[in-house]
A and B are shown apart, each in its own frame.
Chain A
Amino acid sequence: AQRVTQPEKLLSVFKGAPVELKCNYSYSGSPELFWYVQYSRQRLQLLLRHISRESIKGFTADLNKGETSFHLKKPFAQEEDSAMYYCALKGPAAGNKLTFGGGTRVLVKP
């Protein structure tokens, strides 16, 4: 069975400090991993995916197959990064079925 775990429900950091959101997954095979973000009063939107290997809004995420992790990092957090972040997994044979983690709320304090 596929599963995504985000151990932190809440992360509170000061502006300019680094932030790392943890994500661990279990899947027998090679899944696609995503980070979704939901800003206050906005809809859920894709932040980044591991296959694109790009940095979005200063965030990066590295897929570690050995540790089955896909942690999200940003070296200098900004107040506008305050949001709910979800790690998600999609199996290659599962079409569009996304399995989400429980989410981490990030609060960036001034």
Chain B
Amino acid sequence: KAGVTQTPRYLIKTRGQQVTLSCSPISGHRSVSWYQQTPGQGLQFLFEYFSETQRNKGNFPGRFSGRQFSNSRSEMNVSTLELGDSALYLCASSFAGLASDEQFFGPGTRLTVL
């Protein structure tokens, strides 16, 4: 079956702009999680959505938001971009979002903020 897909793969934005990233989970998966990966901070959890509801949230400012649609596809939005938001954004999907479920990761979206 097809894996997790993320679009776009690369983005270049300038400070102050906003950006929307998209994630399509594996068919049948209802949980989607988002992570930020940077050289300095490593992999950090942003939030998780399950059945269109945010179920868990990491320690990121309110500029970072997300949503999930009825087909389980998810988007994350970052408003008022800062230079420090430059990162690889990964999404991961799992079947039911249980602690025992395996998460499958997408290839990531590389965001560069100038």
Contact = CB atoms under 8 A, between A and B. Distances in A.
Interface of A: 32, 43-46, 49, 51, 86, 90-103
A96 B48 contact: yes
B48 A51 contact: no
B94 interface: yes
Contacts of B31: 95-96
B97 interface: yes
Nearest to A51: B100
Contacts of B45: 97-99
Contacts of B66: none
A95 B99 contact: yes
Interface string B38-56: 0000111100101000011
B107 A43 contact: yes
Given A91-B99, A95-B50, A96-B103, A101 B42 contact: yes
B90 interface: yes
Contacts of B33: 96-98
Interface string B11-40: 000000000000000000001010100000
A92 B100 CA distance: 8
Given A46-B102, A46-B103, A91-B99, A100 B56 contact: no
Nearest to B94: A96
B58 interface: yes
B105 interface: yes
26 contacts: A32-B99, A32-B100, A43-B105, A43-B106, A43-B107, A44-B105, A45-B105, A46-B102, A49-B102, A51-B100, A90-B99, A91-B99, A94-B99, A95-B56, A96-B33, A96-B50, A96-B55, A96-B56, A96-B92, A96-B97, A96-B101, A96-B103, A98-B43, A98-B45, A100-B35, A101-B42
Contacts of A97: 33, 45, 48, 56, 58
